[in-house]
């Protein structure tokens, strides 16, 4: 049997205590302590519990929930949130599609999807009207999870879309024509408010905004919400901000708590109770072509995303999109920033 010593770092000696050995054929040792008394054992136990809870399953939505993960501010954990929530929902038993609309293709990389220049991608869907079913790939290691990858060609799509007919609704039409049954579609947007993001906002019904618990976290958020209002008024009356997720939370700092409190005060029930901690494991996972759910299932990051996915799924049962949502204009945005100074 292979040793587990290299799974989570060097093996440490169990709880101190006497240990007897005799040399020869009759080697006797005291019974070793339970596995969960060692760091490796505790990590393994957490992993089993986490995946066990994921496998319990959650209520499936009556119709496909299309969620747009957007924030034009970079570095807020947008792509990380998209892929890990998608993997969490899939582990809960849902069928989930990730649409990678970011030319950098980071969501495709994190899901282990090949997205070099010659791979059929979401660019072909938007520009050449290629059926979505021809570019969707199954994600390795996570049953029920699929990805429509992005390639570098997407970098020029903003310009190419300008001259096309129905340029704002091309993604919506592609999704409506997709015949495979899905419970969730998560769209990872680029960190801008151009035509790619507008296509996502027209295609979706829900907007999920990741907000990092750092200084000036809410800077520019007012413009995003104004754009959501514009799209709802002119192109997609079903669009609403339904979910705010706090990311990069460090409970050791007063600033993180202040940001979290301010966000909860302004957005109320739209803010998930679960926040995503700062985690080395979350950062490492994409370099191995994995989500944190498969890279380190017992880590705090994996457990947090599983809980966030559970909240989203339960919150969506009987959810009414006609409910008024919190607005944040330029003036209130400034007051939010001042509130955490």
Digit-by-digit pLDDT tens for the chain (341 residues) are: 444 433 333 333 443 444 444 444 444 444 444 444 554 455 545 555 555 555 566 888 999 999 999 987 777 888 999 999 999 999 999 999 999 999 999 999 999 998 887 889 999 999 999 999 999 999 988 999 999 999 998 988 889 999 888 899 999 999 999 999 999 999 999 888 889 999 999 999 999 999 888 877 777 788 889 989 999 999 999 999 999 999 988 878 888 888 888 888 888 889 999 999 988 999 999 989 899 999 999 999 999 999 999 999 998 764 433 333 333 343 444 444 444 44
pLDDT of 237: 95
Q: Are 153 and 159 in contact (CB under 8 A)?
A: no
For residue 86, the SS3 value is: helix
| Cα 329 from chain centre | 26
Q: Are 293 and 88 in contact (CB under 8 A)?
A: yes
pLDDT of 181: 93
37 CB contacts (<8 Å, ≥6 apart)? 14, 15
* DSSP states along 266-325: HHGGGB-S--PBP-HHHHHGGGGT--HHHH-TTSHHHHHHHHHHHHHHHHTTT--TTS--
Within 10 Å of residue 172's Cβ, how many Cβ atoms?
19
The pair of three-digit structure tokens given for residue 94, joined into one six-digit string: 């849902």
For residue 262, the SS3 value is: helix
Q: How far is Cα 317 from Cα 312, in angstroms, rounded to an integer?
A: 9
Q: How far is Cα 265 from Cα 243, in angstroms, rounded to an integer?
A: 14
pLDDT of 45: 55
Q: How far is Cα 281 from Cα 267, in angstroms, rounded to an integer?
A: 29
Dihedrals phi, psi of 256, to nearest 5 degrees: -60, -40
Choose among 106, 41, 71, 86: nearest CA to 248. Answer: 71
């Amino acid at each position: 049997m292979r040793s587990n010593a290299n799974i989570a770092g060097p093996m440490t000696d169990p709880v101190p205590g006497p240990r007897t050995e005799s040399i020869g054929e009759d080697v006797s040792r005291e019974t070793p302590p339970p596995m969960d008394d060692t760091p490796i054992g505790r990590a393994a136990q957490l992993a089993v519990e986490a995946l066990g809870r994921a496998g319990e399953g959650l209520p499936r939505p009556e119709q496909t929930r299309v969620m747009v993960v957007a924030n034009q501010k970079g570095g807020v954990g947008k792509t990380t949130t998209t892929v890990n929530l998608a993997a969490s929902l899939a582990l809960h038993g849902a069928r989930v599609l990730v649409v990678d609309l970011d030319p950098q293709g980071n969501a495709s990389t994190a899901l282990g999807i090949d997205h070099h220049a010659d791979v059929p991608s979401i660019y072909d869907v938007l520009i050449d009207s290629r059926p979505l079913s021809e570019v969707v790939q199954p994600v390795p290691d996570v049953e029920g999870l699929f990805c429509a990858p992005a390639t570098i060609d997407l970098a020029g799509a903003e310009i190419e879309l300008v001259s096309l007919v129905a340029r704002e609704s091309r993604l919506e039409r592609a999704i409506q024509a997709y015949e495979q049954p899905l419970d969730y579609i998560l769209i990872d947007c680029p960190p801008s408010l151009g035509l790619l993001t507008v296509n996502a906002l027209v295609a979706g019904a829900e907007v999920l905004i990741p907000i990092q618990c750092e200084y000036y976290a809410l800077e520019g958020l007012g413009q995003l919400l104004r754009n959501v209002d514009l799209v709802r008024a002119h192109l997609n009356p079903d669009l609403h901000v339904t979910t705010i997720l706090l990311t990069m939370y460090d409970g050791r700092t007063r600033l993180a708590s202040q940001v979290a409190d301010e966000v909860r005060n302004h957005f109320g029930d739209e803010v998930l109770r679960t926040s995503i901690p700062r985690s080395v494991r979350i950062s490492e996972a994409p370099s191995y072509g994995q989500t944190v759910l498969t890279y380190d299932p017992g880590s705090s990051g994996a457990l947090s995303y599983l809980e966030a996915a559970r909240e989203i799924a339960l919150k969506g049962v009987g959810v009414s999109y006609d409910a008024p949502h919190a607005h944040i204009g330029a003036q209130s945005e400034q007051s939010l920033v001042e509130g955490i100074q």
